Amino acid sequence: VVPSPDVVQAAADRLSLHLGVVAAASFTGYIRALDAAVRNSPRPANQILSRPDLTEALSYSLRVAHGHTATLIQQAWQHGGGDPESIYRHAALSGAAGALNELRGQIDGIVREELGTPAPDPAHRIQQAVSDAVTKVVTRMRMSLESAAGASHTEAVIAEGRQLQQQGQHVMKVWRSRLSRRTCRWCRELDGVMIPLDDDFPHGDPVALEQSRTRRVATPAGVRRYRRSMGQPIILTHPPRVWLGRLPGPKRHPRCECWLELHILTEAGPPPAPLRSEEPAERMYVRASDIAELPEPQYMGLMAFLRAATHELGQVLRRLKGL
Ligand SMILES: [Zn+2]
């Protein structure tokens, strides 16, 4: 059973907060030790950075933070209901680990820069800068966790759709967005878009910013779409890059509140009648009598499928025309 998107979101929020606290706390001991070292013996940066007690303290902090992060991301993934062997789960874990690994180099740079600057109280500035760097890395890891929860839920929804498809149902997937004030332009455009289960949602190449001609907001619809007032130039920003170059469903970007739903077009009718032997196998047209002979559920199913396909085509055309 696929969990509801609200439950997944609530679990991700809770785990993300928890990650923020424990991952940051993993570094307090190291930051204190570094501060004491700089205050007590303000030697050249090289000597501070190569002190075995400090390098060991940093390695320990990184290990502890990594352990917490991996555990909490796994939990977020489990809440989403996705396949534990998914590449998206591995991507979230390695994304978080990558963010952590950068911290060592960042701290190195901070200590060298601050000790090389002839300003008073380098210890205080180092402590501030290192704390800020930790906060930034922790924020990135929290985003990895939140993305993992969303990707896991999307996977679970698609897996459920495949099951229904195997049972003979016509299943499409639909992008849903909260459409709150926080919803970005990209998610707003995807809201309600319905596509086949195995397709990617349109995620767009970077927008070529048009230099030759500035388009301006000219209609009330434009005011809502671009959130600028009448007559202001329209600024198209680049869409956020998608995870692993694909967009099978939400999330579109960090802090995205969208989710995926299935749309079951109809129960499948009886299997299509085999071609009568006297009919040429490659008949390319459909006669009115063929349609009249269709069983009612199959006819309704085809009509619903056509409506969905037309809707999708309409969305594509609207995007192409920039509407
Ligand atoms: Zn979104």
Q: What is the pLDDT of residue 29?
A: 96
CA of 182 to the centre of ligand 1 (A): 9
Quick: pLDDT tens for 272-294: 444 444 444 444 455 566 677 77
CA of 170 to the centre of ligand 1 (A): 26
Q: For the packed helices 5-25 and 52-80, what is the interaxial angle rounded to 10 degrees?
A: 170
Quick: pLDDT tens for 219-274: 888 887 777 788 887 766 666 777 777 899 998 888 888 999 999 987 555 544 44
CA of 188 to the centre of ligand 1 (A): 7
CA of 72 to the centre of ligand 1 (A): 22
Assign 21 to helix, strand or coil: helix
CA of 178 to the centre of ligand 1 (A): 8
CA of 29 to the centre of ligand 1 (A): 38
What gap in Å lies between CA 141 and CA 120, rounded to an integer? 33
CA of 223 to the centre of ligand 1 (A): 20
Q: What is the pLDDT of residue 53?
A: 94
CA of 203 to the centre of ligand 1 (A): 12
Q: CA–CA distance from 196 to each of 81, 170, 171, 267 (Å)?
A: 21, 9, 7, 16
Dihedral over Cα of 92, 98, 100, 103: its sign: negative
Q: What is the pLDDT of residue 57?
A: 96
**Cis-peptide into 173, omega within 30 deg:** no
Residue with tokens 């509801």: 4
CA of 275 to the centre of ligand 1 (A): 46
Beta bridge mates, 233: 216
User: Exposure string (b/e) for 53-77, b if CB count within 10 Å is 16 or more?
Assistant: ebeebbeebbebbbebbeebbbbbb
Q: What is the pLDDT of residue 73?
A: 96
Mean residue pLDDT across the chain: 84
CA of 146 to the centre of ligand 1 (A): 12
Task: Using a cut of 0.75, tell me whether the model's pTM lies above it.
Answer: no
- Spans in the chain with pLDDT lower than 70: 42, 204-214, 235-239, 267-290, 297, 323
CA of 143 to the centre of ligand 1 (A): 14
CA of 258 to the centre of ligand 1 (A): 4
CA of 314 to the centre of ligand 1 (A): 21
- How does DSSP assign 30-41, residue by residue? HHHHHHHHHHH-
CA of 304 to the centre of ligand 1 (A): 27
Q: What is the pLDDT of residue 119?
A: 82
What gap in Å lies between CA 316 and CA 323, rounded to an integer? 10
CA of 234 to the centre of ligand 1 (A): 21
Residue among 139, 130, 135 nearest 96 (CA): 139
CA of 186 to the centre of ligand 1 (A): 7
User: Exposure string (b/e) for 79-102, b if CB count within 10 Å is 16 or more?
Assistant: bbbbeeebebbebbbebbbebbee
CA of 177 to the centre of ligand 1 (A): 6
CA of 256 to the centre of ligand 1 (A): 4
What gap in Å lies between CA 149 and CA 76, rounded to an integer? 5
CA of 185 to the centre of ligand 1 (A): 9
Q: What is the pLDDT of residue 213?
A: 58
